């Protein structure tokens, strides 16, 4: 199957981490997201071990928690002793609630509000990843008021096109994120940052995009960033101690995509970095990476109950399920690839080509098109695989549909991670 944590049992049911998805759907209801905890920990450890081995002791992954943010995941990050990347005060609050030590956090975003800056500093956020100079002024002012020196790194755009979907591409010069090296603005930003008394510039950050299968853009980015660091040492005598290379490693959603060897990717990137460090004579910075998708995506799947099936002669067939864009907006947003299967009848012949539609009053509410399934019947359990990243964290209550429950599997036991929303939750803030 697509990943080693998926299997089919004697009843022809789809299993994740050995747990029967049809039984889980019955026990918890649908839509339901099911997460394999061991897989999350395994993915984190691959990064942790490969980074320590190839980049050196002190280098570490910071889980990009926008991909899946809830107390459970921050507890796992704490137990696995990794850092986190957060993008809002809400994510910071959630991490604090989970007892996460946020001195190991990177606070991102292209528009941190004054509230965010105050809240972050008051709670001891490790690093702000500064996106622009007006933001730097604001952080400096708040840090001065509070009588502290705040650590920051600057987000730079290395000018790289990683060939992924335009909505998830971020390393090019024309981006809403970061400061361009190419235009000379990065040099100005560094000089300006070094004049700030309440700011300590620790280094730099870049993030070239997401769902990237090619190693080259990562190696190029690493090389460009190290070259830039060495340029600064020569020009300004400034030496960066942290280089954060962001996230972006691709994940296998469909058979046609490869399963990447992340350790090998890290080894190759480190070769580029080491070559550049050696030839320029700079001190090798601590390398941080911010994987999100590649930590949680393949740990989860989403279960739905099939409702109606509709055949339109001469056109196509639709299968409707009891979730859709409220729990997974990624197909509606950018036609994301997913593998869909009929979890309750995995061994039946998949000879019915259809479009899987969500339940919302929106024609774009589709989960996938041109899927081959056994002809679904009302009540069958349908699974969309590899839904751990950017699904629950992007979920909404469109059409007043409660967000689904999230259930974890560990050592053969199932347990709730996030409760299903109730109708009362839907009206909680209505006056």
Ligand X SMILES: *Cc1c(COP(=O)(O)O)cnc(C)c1O
376 to 395, contacts with ligand X by CB under 6 A? 389
Q: Shortest Cβ distance from residue 144 to ligand X (Å)?
A: 27
Interface pattern 195-214 for ligand X (x via CB under 6 A): ------------x--x----
150-171 b/e (C-beta count within 10 Å ≥ 16 → b)? bbbbbbbbbbbebebeeebbbb
The CA distance from 112 to 139, in Å, is: 9
* Residue choice 171, 291, 388, 408 for contact with ligand X (CB under 6 A): 291
Q: Under a CB-based contact definition with an 8 Å cutoff, are residues 356 and 366 in contact?
A: yes
Name which of 64 and 321 has its Cβ closer to ligand X: 64
Q: Under a CB-based contact definition with an 8 Å cutoff, are residues 34 and 410 in contact?
A: no
290 scored as a contact of ligand X (CB under 6 A): yes
231 to 250, contacts with ligand X by CB under 6 A? 246-248
Q: Is the peptide bond before 31 cis (omega within 30 degrees of 0)?
A: yes
217 scored as a contact of ligand X (CB under 6 A): no
Q: Shortest Cβ distance from residue 155 to ligand X (Å)?
A: 7
How far is the CA of 415 from the CAs of 22, 33, 36, 120, 271, in angstroms?
15, 12, 11, 32, 42
298 scored as a contact of ligand X (CB under 6 A): no
136 scored as a contact of ligand X (CB under 6 A): no
252 scored as a contact of ligand X (CB under 6 A): no
In what helix (H) or strand (E) does residue 15 lie, and over which residues does it extend?
Answer: strand 14-16
* Residue choice 104, 293, 345, 359 for contact with ligand X (CB under 6 A): 293
> Would you call 361 a catalytic residue per the annotation?
yes
By beta-carbon distance, which residue lies closest to ligand X? 247
Name which of 108 and 345 has its Cβ closer to ligand X: 108
* Residue choice 67, 172, 270, 344 for contact with ligand X (CB under 6 A): 67
Q: Under a CB-based contact definition with an 8 Å cutoff, are residues 406 and 397 in contact?
A: no
Name which of 215 and 357 has its Cβ closer to ligand X: 215
Name which of 139 and 288 has its Cβ closer to ligand X: 288
Sign of the C-alpha dihedral computed for residues 303, 47, 417 and 91 taken in this order? negative
* Residue choice 64, 77, 245, 301 for contact with ligand X (CB under 6 A): 64
* Residue choice 13, 39, 54, 108 for contact with ligand X (CB under 6 A): 108
Name which of 246 and 376 has its Cβ closer to ligand X: 246
Q: Shortest Cβ distance from residue 355 to ligand X (Å)?
A: 27
372 forms bridges with which residues in the sheet?
Answer: 353
Name which of 44 and 389 has its Cβ closer to ligand X: 389
104 scored as a contact of ligand X (CB under 6 A): no
Instruction: Return the SS3 of 49.
Output: helix
Sign of the C-alpha dihedral computed for residues 315, 319, 322 and 328 taken in this order? negative
Question: CA nearest 23: which of 344, 298, 327, 323?
Answer: 344
Question: CA nearest 296: which of 231, 190, 152, 392?
Answer: 392
Q: One of 144, 341, 360, 361 is an active-site residue; which one?
A: 361
How do beta strands 150-157 and 199-205 pair?
Answer: parallel
Cβ neighbours around 338 below 10 Å, total: 21
Stretch near ligand X under the rule CB under 6 A, chosen from 59-67, 196-204, 327-335, 354-362? 59-67
292 scored as a contact of ligand X (CB under 6 A): yes
Q: Under a CB-based contact definition with an 8 Å cutoff, are residues 219 and 267 in contact?
A: no
21 scored as a contact of ligand X (CB under 6 A): no
Q: Shortest Cβ distance from residue 309 to ligand X (Å)?
A: 34
Name which of 34 and 64 has its Cβ closer to ligand X: 64
Instruction: Return the SS3 of 162.
Output: coil
Q: Shortest Cβ distance from residue 109 to ligand X (Å)?
A: 9
Instruction: Return the SS3 of 250.
Output: coil
Q: What is the dihedral of CA 393, 33, 170, 46, to 10 degrees?
A: 120
Q: Shortest Cβ distance from residue 63 to ligand X (Å)?
A: 9
Q: Shortest Cβ distance from residue 314 to ligand X (Å)?
A: 40
Q: Under a CB-based contact definition with an 8 Å cutoff, are residues 223 and 273 in contact?
A: yes
Task: Please report, as ranges, the residues that interact with ligand X according to CB under 6 A.
Answer: 64, 66-67, 85, 108, 207, 210, 246-248, 290-294, 389
Q: Which residues are tagged catalytic?
A: 361
């Amino acid at each position: 199957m697509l990943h080693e944590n998926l299997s089919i049992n004697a009843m022809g049911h789809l299993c994740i981490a050995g747990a029967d998805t049809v039984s889980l759907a019955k026990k918890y209801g649908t839509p339901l997201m099911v997460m394999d905890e061991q897989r999350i920990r395994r993915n984190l450890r691959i990064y942790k071990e490969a980074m320590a081995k190839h980049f050196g002791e002190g280098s570490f992954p910071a889980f990009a928690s926008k991909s899946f943010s809830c107390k459970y995941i921050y507890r796992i990050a704490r137990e696995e002793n990794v850092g986190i990347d957060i993008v809002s005060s809400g994510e910071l609050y959630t991490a604090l609630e989970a007892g996460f030590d946020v001195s190991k956090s990177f606070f991102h975003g292209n528009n941190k509000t004054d509230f965010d800056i105050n809240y972050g500093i008051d709670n001891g956020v490790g690093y702000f990843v500064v996106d622009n100079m007006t933001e730097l002024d604001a952080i400096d002012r708040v840090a001065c008021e509070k009588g502290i020196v705040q650590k920051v790194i600057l987000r730079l755009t290395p000018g790289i096109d990683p060939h992924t979907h335009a909505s998830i591409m971020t390393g090019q010069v024309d981006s809403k994120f970061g400061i361009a090296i190419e235009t000379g603005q990065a040099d100005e930003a560094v000089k300006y940052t070094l004049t700030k008394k309440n700011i300590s510039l620790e280094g730099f950050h870049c993030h070239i995009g997401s769902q990237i299968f090619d190693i080259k853009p990562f190696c190029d980015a690493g090389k460009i960033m190290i070259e830039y660091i060495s340029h600064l040492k020569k020009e300004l005598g400034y030496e960066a101690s942290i280089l954060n290379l962001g996230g972006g490693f691709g994940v296998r959603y469909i058979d046609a995509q490869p399963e990447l060897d992340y350790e090998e990717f890290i080894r190759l990137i480190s070769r580029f970095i080491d070559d550049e460090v050696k030839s320029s004579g700079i001190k090798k910075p601590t390398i941080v990476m911010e994987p999100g998708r590649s930590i949680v995506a393949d740990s989860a799947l989403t279960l739905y109950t099939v409702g109606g099936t509709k055949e339109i002669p001469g056109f196509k067939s639709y299968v409707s399920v009891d979730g859709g864009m409220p729990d997974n907006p990624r197909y509606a947003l950018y036609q994301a690839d997913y593998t869909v299967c009929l979890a309750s009848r995995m061994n039946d012949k998949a000879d019915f080509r259809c479009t899987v539609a969500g339940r919302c009053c929106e024609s774009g509410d589709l989960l996938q098109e041109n899927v081959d399934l056994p002809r679904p019947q009302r009540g069958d359990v349908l699974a969309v695989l590899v839904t751990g990243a950017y699904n629950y964290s992007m979920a909404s209550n469109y059409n007043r549909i409660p967000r689904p429950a999230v259930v974890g599997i560990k050592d053969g036991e199932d347990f709730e991670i996030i409760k299903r929303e109730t109708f009362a939750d839907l009206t909680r803030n209505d006056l």
